[in-house]
Structure 1
Amino acid sequence: MKKIFYILLGICMLSCSSNDEAVEDTRDLQPDKAYEFYIDAPYSSSTSVNNGHYQFTYENGNLKTVFGLNEKSLPTNSISLSYQGNQVKVFDAVNNSTTAYTIHTIENNKLVKSEFYNFASILGKTRSYTYEKGIISVYEEKGGNQDAIITYYFNNDNNLVKQEKLERIGGANVGLNTIIYSDFDNAKNPFKKLGLVNDNWFAKSLSTNNFRKIEISYISFTNQNVSTKIYNCVYKYDSKGQVLLHHPL
């Protein structure tokens, strides 16, 4: 795993050594701060935002720690990532006590397996990932005879345009969650190195650019109920057209 990351780091250094502007672009892909509303969830109104934010640290070009701070800049939680061989272990802690952790397995620079454990180190679910052109397929297996099939679809610009999660119990389909991503900007994606932390950050890390509209719908096959919500993500940009994840409110 270390070899893979050092190779990637070397490629980044070669690609940005030609001029100072390229170096600055590389730094944009390693944000040191980001507001919660940009990172955690879609939003459609600035009235709901606050200055709770995350602080990030990196090591050898990889995400190392994530510190959550509330509106008063008091710590709320911390996440640490450790790298060994082809595995990445992600610890999630509150008040210095580990609440859960995830072990990701990476092969050929691609995520191939994720194992999710609770605070008692009991395996809660596993995911396996397969890849083909324009599609990432994920098989999720949980206890209680439950599983799910998650599919990510990409357009020709390598931007994530749709995500589907088919939920099943005992092999029977019980619900379908669909997310449509649209209104992409032309900025680099600043979430690229954050994708191993959780599901939401993973989805945001997949695209070349940044989606600004999200349509979420859920169909229950048991009662035929359908619900739909639409969110708009209003980013701020710097003078070079790159996304600002932290700025004066």
Structure 2
Amino acid sequence: MKKIFYVLLGICLLSCSSSNDEVVEDTRDLQPDKAYEFYINAPYSSSTSVNNTHYQFTYENGNLKTVFRLTPLSWPIVSLLYQDNQIKVFNGDISSNAYALHIIENNRPIKSEYYNFSSELFKTKLYTYAENMIAIHEKEGNRDAYITYYFNSANNLFKQEILEQKNGLNLGIKTIIYSDYDKSKNPFKKLRLINDICFVKSLSANNFRKIESSYYDLASGATTQTEVYNCIYKYDSNGQVLLYHPL
């Protein structure tokens, strides 16, 4: 029960913090041209997950505009539309009815709404920011998730806690530890809205290469065995992560 207390305490502290703290946009963020699918769609990568399917990115005014999936044919899988403080991320081209609507303040999302192909709202996220912490309340149907991200003094994510609820009842807490950071600049910054995996990867200044995940079941009081994953990156001669390279 102490774990619930600390997770909820962190969320409560964040809810009292202003979400209007000024954030200066880093115009020097990397703009990767291509990336393999396993870097974008998996939280970790290994030699067993390698395949040659890859994505190509286009930008406009420094913002990600389109993500193309390159096989023998090429088609857009994600399209982004920017208007005032809103970003729409479409599943496919901009004529798609399935999209995510992100409300942006100070260059970071404060609310996200997700619509299916029938244009029905099915999921929402509310974001709260505090020093070295981000809290997100995710709601989908009768399920809620309270997600808290914790950062160290180097602006790198070191822990993520997810309190899961169903019909208002606490189910369990998932804890993820991120470590073994490189010194390379993060190439996922401008890819943060593609999916949840890229969002997590985009949060840090550098790139984590180890993930340790465990789950505490509140009904049984049991904790699952910690699962350990490794992220294997290749680097260029300057020590920068390569998201596209010879296999």
Q: Does TM, normalized by the shorter one, top 0.5?
A: yes
Query: How many matched pairs?
Result: 223
Task: Map residues 33-112 of structure 1 onto 2, 5 A cutoff.
Answer: 33-43=34-44, 45-70=46-71, 73-75=72-74, 78-93=77-92, 98=96, 100-112=98-110
Question: CA offsets per residue over residues 161-217 of structure 1, 9 Å max, x none?
Answer: 111111112221112222111000001000000111211110001100000111122
RMSD: 2.1
SS in 2 for 1:98: coil
Instruction: Name the structure, 1 or 2, with higher relative contact order (CA <8 Å, separation 6+).
Output: 2
CA contact (8 A) 1:69 1:77 kept: no
Flag as ranges the 4+ runs of structure 1 deviating above 3 A.
42-45, 73-77, 96-99, 222-225
Structure 1 unpaired stretches of 5+: 1-6, 13-25
Task: Map residues 123-162 of structure 1 onto 2, 5 A cutoff.
Answer: 123-144=121-142, 146-162=143-159
Q: Which amino acid aligns with 1:68?
A: R
1: CA distance, partners of 2:55 / 2:124:
27
What is aligned with 1:216?
A: 213
What is aligned with 1:167?
A: 164
Q: CA deviation at 1:48?
A: 2.6
CA contact (8 A) 2:157 2:178 kept: yes
Normalising by structure 2, what TM-score? 0.83
2: CA distance, partners of 1:175 / 1:76:
39
Q: Which amino acid aligns with 1:132?
A: A
Of 186, 189, 194, 2:191 maps to: 194
Percent of pairs with identical residues:
63
- 2:29 matches 1:31: no
Normalising by structure 1, what TM-score? 0.83
Task: Flag the 1:76–1:50 CA change in 2: closer, same or farther, 3 A.
Answer: farther
CA contact (8 A) 2:182 2:209 kept: yes
2: CA distance, partners of 1:44 / 1:87:
32
Of 233, 241, 244, 2:242 maps to: 244
- Which stretch has the larger CA shift, 126-135 or 226-235? 226-235
